[in-house]
Structure 1
Amino acid sequence: MSCTDSDSSSHGVEYRNFRQISRDRLLHEMLRSSSSGDSRSSWKVLIMDKVTVKVMSASCKMTDITDQGVSLVEDIFKRRQPMPSMDVIYFIQPIKENIIMFLSDMSGREPLYKKAFIFFSSSAPKDLISRIKNDMSVLPRIGALREMNLEYFPIESQAFITDNDRALEDMYSQLAENSRQFDASLNTMSIRIATVFASMKEFPFVWYRARGMDGSTAATFRDLVPVKLASAVWNSITMYKTTIANFPQTETCDLLIVDRSLDLIAPIIHEWTYDAMCHDLLDLEGNKYVQEVPNKSGSEPQRKEFLLEDHDPVWLEMRHLHIAEASEKLSDKMQNFMSKNKAAQLQQRDGGELSTRDIQKMVQALPTYNEQMEKLSLHVEIAGKINTIIRDEGLRDLGQVEQDLVFGDSGTKEVINFLRSHQDARTEYKLRLIMIYAMVYPEKFEGDKATKLMQLAKLPPEDMKAIQNMKLLEGSNKKKKHHGAFSLKFDSQKRNHALRKDRTGEEETWQLFRFYPVLEVT
């Protein structure tokens, strides 16, 4: 998605990032506004389901929530203790199961809570609203009933996901056409994308990639996924014009919807930025890195968790740099820091007593020293781990073959030579290399040729199936003669065997920094 103005929205609202928008709405628009004013305690209970708890945790910390008067966070489907003197906030999806649980909590002579404030994560069906309003024992106990329209998951300031792990299988598998799973997945994605614009109060032009619609070939149902998603998103967003106060009535920004067939290489090839290497080579949980700190007592090392996110200035500076450049800059930063920080200088003194003035300087410098030292040492450790993996696993050789394939400088011979000389390479690495080869040279990855290459790589039959399944993402089948038992045609046109061209006017400063994705944010 791109706004028409990078510094502000097109209708005069100051620019804010995805995570900030979500945080502000959840804390201020929902939690802070929920109070009956007549409760014995200002503390409240917050109840969420498995989806909304992810929405909340993507943008808010527990301390943020408690600062808004929430003393307890509960799961709607777990047994809970009655707290009849406290108000409760329900932040839930508008689905039948949640409504049943809510009515069970608040109906009858002895409800679990005093007053209920209900906030739905997306637009609620009329029949569910009617079901709530028709329960006369519950109705007087409702303090608010609103649609937050906030069901997306910010992963950083300028990126969000819909957290639909099964979307690829549900929408592109051989069984996807006309299936309930396809419709459900499409509905989930469209609703969650639409809530992004509800939160930003932006009304987008919706653009989409339309394949197989020029009449030259028959469009498959997979070709129409972007079309159907664009239509569903548009339908949801246009409803906001009448349901959300001050929502724009004319288009204010652009939304572009494409599918993976636009660039099948990007998620497979090894990219060499610090960010990409962290997520590719390290065992991260999302953006969470666990550091083991030696214990002074000699017992088990302590485990400290760090989030590689926008609040970390070192991460922001290094993430898009080549791993070699990032390593150099981190080393320079550490040396510069050690030479200028007073606490670091005094700690490095060899013997001798410290004067009172030295101790005073050290105490004054310690808070800054500890904070900056922790951040720098963290990233020095991470970069060191990455460089060790690159060296020990021969990733530079692999990366060279991958990029040479993509740019048309290598072929079958180089792939075979790599597989023969790197028999102990990880199965994942060999599979990724062969996937790239199959996309660059589809006519050579057929029948016996494909089987022999898989055997040379010592890859199991299920990996062959994974490569074959990439055909499902490629799109329309164009008329061309197929030979052999298995044929993988990623592009039916005769072409030079290169999926990328070198950028004009740019030199490759760092080795293996040649690759770029088809779609880039500018």
Structure 2
Amino acid sequence: MDAIYFMQPTKQNIDIFMSNMSGKRPLYKKAYIFFSSPIQKEWVAHIRKDSSVLARVGALSEMNLEYFAIDSQGFVTDHDKALEELFTENAEGSMNYNSCINTMATRIATVFASMKEFPRVHYRVARTIDASTLTTLRDLVPTKLAASVWNCLARYKSIIPEFPQTETCELLIVDRSIDQIAPVIHEWTYDAMCHDLLSMDGNKYVQEVPNTSGSGTEKKEVLLEDHDPIWFELRDVHVADANLRLHEKMRDFISKNKAAQLHQARTNGELSTKELQKMVQALPQYTDQIDKLSLHVEIAEKLFDIIKEEHLKDVGQLEQDLVFGDAGSKEVIDFFRTHQDISRENKLRLLMIYAAINPEKIQSEKGAKLMQLAGLSADDMIAVNNMRCICAHETKKSSKGGFPLKFEIRKKKRGIRKERIGEESTWTLSRFYPILEDLIEKLSKGELPKDEYHCMSDPSSSFRGISSSMSARTSPAHQPAQSMRSRRTGGTWARPRNSDDGYSSDSVLKHASSDMRKLGRRLFIFVVGGATRSELRAVHKLSSKLKREIILGSSSLDDPPKFITKLKMMSNEELSLDDLQI
């Protein structure tokens, strides 16, 4: 029997392979080897040196596939512990820190190797480093990762056939500190609500359907992915809009199908999820169409039941009021006092948003009273306090001779951002947008702030269309500029949306013009510490708006419950920096 090996090019894996295939009684007659990233020449020579093994090798190839695709515009490097390994105390000296950076860089580089792209690498810069100024290790993560990615790509130029020798696209590397609110706020799109509220296992949803005998139900696992046309259409729209579209699809199907009309008449005009499932049995020729429709009707019903039971419209309103500067401590206190039945998790998420906007208050007596009023557990309080570990904070001058680092807090609210003119939504709770959306637009225009974002090298002479303001490394940053959020006016919960805000499924690249790339090079954005559904939505939206293919990468894709769990696992002690080397 022949075998296919798909493996990382490590010493341990090569040794296991050699053991399997050497000698007089190998495990397999032939072995076809595919490496997930470029293999070092000495390991190839090691395989060739053993003639008994070499004769049994049917193929040896580098696939450059050390990443997992989320969808057609997103990927992850499968570093679920990135927050814990890169943003906690003593991370610099640990083997986990360096290993995480290096493996993450290798996996990012394989994305470009597989797509035959050579990026110009931008990164969010660390704070000023000199004899009298301190910075934190977490500030250095984008810098170190950018350098490691650049080193991998420089090597690929000489070892991968037909790999570009000049820049063909752009890569921006940032970390979770750019936006601490996006991972915890309720995102009201269909995709985000499903993953936030339904306890899904990845993209897997468990549906109850009638069993073959018709006497009961059985569980059926389905995947909510792009191959499902209804999911693809609804994933980035407001959940209320999704609900309206589902009912329109149901009415449209019935109006065009006489058998469905008869079935509806027998049920007195009612078509619940169970009735739709029964219709599948009555109309087998429409099984696939009704199956998908009944699936999403069931999901929408569950979502709206949870939204109602957990008072999520009230929670979401206060969340967005906090984010846009329309609410503060008083409103949070009043909310906790008048909404005793709000779940502890939703109170925790409110306080985490409050902490991201008002770090100086959450660490004061007022913050302690808020947490007590919310009835948070000790673990919950750890998550709130650990928001500091991913906050983009200021540096502080050191005292005599030593390097003690204390957390320096900005006085200004960081959660308030400028209104995005011309993008008002007709749906309430649609005001929120991730900071990454602004950064992608600035990257596209060549307008990234040069004191906050550096580039690994000057662009080559063949690289066109880039602003000269981004062309070289500049002086280190002192204090980041403030982005602002403010209220988006208008909107109703269930009024059909007719604004051209780009959030419909039509904004996805798959439905865009086939010559989109002629209008601009690919943009890659990588977020260390976990990306969010709102950021993936922004990528879908901006691909259409900017007429450029945009790809989002991250160490992981985190829904709010998962992100909060990760925060609880982090140390809340401050980091120190000594003998820094980049």
TM-score (norm 2): 0.68
2:379 aligns with 462
Q: Structure 1 regions of 5+ residues with no counterpart?
A: 1-85, 352-361, 481-486
Q: Secondary structure at the match of 2:412?
A: coil
**Residue pair 1:343, 1:369 contacting (<8 A) in 2 also:** no
Q: Distance in 2 between matches of 1:310 and 1:488?
A: 47
Q: Secondary structure at the match of 1:224?
A: helix
Displacement after TM superposition at 1:497 (Å): 6.9
Give the one of 237, 255, 271 matched to 1:339.
255
1:112 aligns with 27
Q: Secondary structure at the match of 2:138?
A: coil
**Residue pair 1:443, 1:488 contacting (<8 A) in 2 also:** no
Closer/same/farther in 2, CA of residues 385 and 489 from structure 1, 3 Å limit: farther
The amino acid that maps onto 1:332 is E
Q: Secondary structure at the match of 2:136?
A: coil
Displacement after TM superposition at 1:231 (Å): 1.1
**Residue pair 1:212, 1:476 contacting (<8 A) in 2 also:** no
**Residue pair 2:393, 2:408 contacting (<8 A) in 1 also:** no
The alignment status of 1:379 with 2:296, answered yes or no, reads: yes
Displacement after TM superposition at 1:299 (Å): 5.5
Q: Secondary structure at the match of 2:242?
A: helix
1:391 aligns with 308
Displacement after TM superposition at 1:476 (Å): 4.2
Q: Secondary structure at the match of 2:286?
A: helix
Q: Secondary structure at the match of 2:58?
A: strand
**Residue pair 2:117, 2:164 contacting (<8 A) in 1 also:** yes
Closer/same/farther in 2, CA of residues 366 and 300 from structure 1, 3 Å limit: closer
The amino acid that maps onto 2:321 is D
1:280 aligns with 196
The alignment status of 1:515 with 2:515, answered yes or no, reads: no
1:37 aligns with none
The alignment status of 1:101 with 2:16, answered yes or no, reads: yes
Displacement after TM superposition at 1:206 (Å): 0.9
1:427 aligns with 344
Which has the higher Rg, Structure 1 or Structure 2? 1
Give the one of 358, 368, 375 matched to 1:441.
358
* 1:140-167 Cα shifts (integer Å, max 9, x gaps): 1112222211111001111000011111
Mapping of residues 174-253 of structure 1, within 5 Å: 174-213=89-128, 218-253=134-169
The alignment status of 1:297 with 2:297, answered yes or no, reads: no
Which deviates more, 365-374 or 451-460?
365-374
Query: Aligned Cα RMSD in Å?
Result: 2.6
Q: Taking every aligned residue pair, what percent have the same amino acid on both sides?
A: 60
Q: Distance in 2 between matches of 1:303 and 1:196?
A: 37
The alignment status of 1:407 with 2:333, answered yes or no, reads: no
1:152 aligns with 67
Give the one of 27, 37, 58 matched to 1:122.
37
Q: Distance in 2 between matches of 1:320 and 1:428?
A: 24
The amino acid that maps onto 2:11 is K
Mapping of residues 156-171 of structure 1, within 5 Å: 156-171=71-86
**Residue pair 1:211, 1:475 contacting (<8 A) in 2 also:** no
The amino acid that maps onto 1:188 is T
**Residue pair 2:207, 2:221 contacting (<8 A) in 1 also:** yes
Displacement after TM superposition at 1:394 (Å): 0.7
Closer/same/farther in 2, CA of residues 300 and 173 from structure 1, 3 Å limit: farther
Q: Structure 2 regions of 5+ residues with no counterpart?
A: 268-278, 398-404, 438-538, 543-582
**Residue pair 2:356, 2:414 contacting (<8 A) in 1 also:** no
Mapping of residues 76-95 of structure 1, within 5 Å: 86-95=1-10
Displacement after TM superposition at 1:343 (Å): 4.0
Closer/same/farther in 2, CA of residues 143 and 506 from structure 1, 3 Å limit: closer
Q: Secondary structure at the match of 1:154?
A: strand
**Residue pair 1:442, 1:488 contacting (<8 A) in 2 also:** no
Displacement after TM superposition at 1:217 (Å): 5.0
Q: Secondary structure at the match of 1:222?
A: helix
Q: Distance in 2 between matches of 1:513 and 1:308?
A: 23
**Residue pair 1:292, 1:302 contacting (<8 A) in 2 also:** yes
Displacement after TM superposition at 1:256 (Å): 0.8
2:367 aligns with 450
Q: Distance in 2 between matches of 1:120 and 1:506?
A: 46
1:327 aligns with 243
Q: Distance in 1 between matches of 2:348 and 2:265?
A: 53
Q: Distance in 2 between matches of 1:367 and 1:424?
A: 45
Q: Distance in 1 between matches of 2:337 and 2:266?
A: 54
Displacement after TM superposition at 1:350 (Å): 5.3
Closer/same/farther in 2, CA of residues 491 and 326 from structure 1, 3 Å limit: farther
**Residue pair 2:325, 2:416 contacting (<8 A) in 1 also:** yes
Q: Distance in 2 between matches of 1:178 and 1:461?
A: 29
Q: Distance in 1 between matches of 2:40 and 2:13?
A: 13
**Residue pair 2:394, 2:408 contacting (<8 A) in 1 also:** no
Displacement after TM superposition at 1:367 (Å): 6.3
Give the one of 265, 276, 296 matched to 2:181.
265
Q: Distance in 2 between matches of 1:343 and 1:193?
A: 53
Q: Secondary structure at the match of 2:121?
A: strand
Closer/same/farther in 2, CA of residues 472 and 135 from structure 1, 3 Å limit: same
Q: Distance in 1 between matches of 2:32 and 2:312?
A: 54
**Residue pair 2:92, 2:98 contacting (<8 A) in 1 also:** no
Displacement after TM superposition at 1:437 (Å): 0.8
Q: Secondary structure at the match of 2:308?
A: helix
Closer/same/farther in 2, CA of residues 448 and 476 from structure 1, 3 Å limit: closer
Q: Distance in 2 between matches of 1:409 and 1:159?
A: 33
Q: Distance in 1 between matches of 2:356 and 2:160?
A: 46
Q: Distance in 2 between matches of 1:417 and 1:475?
A: 29
TM-score (norm 1): 0.75
* 1:321-370 Cα shifts (integer Å, max 9, x gaps): 1111111111111111111134423544659xxxxxxxxxx99x956622
Displacement after TM superposition at 1:96 (Å): 2.6
Q: Distance in 2 between matches of 1:248 and 1:459?
A: 54
Closer/same/farther in 2, CA of residues 299 and 217 from structure 1, 3 Å limit: farther
The amino acid that maps onto 1:107 is S
The amino acid that maps onto 2:312 is L
2:522 aligns with none
Displacement after TM superposition at 1:174 (Å): 1.0
**Residue pair 2:360, 2:409 contacting (<8 A) in 1 also:** no
Q: Distance in 2 between matches of 1:349 and 1:300?
A: 23
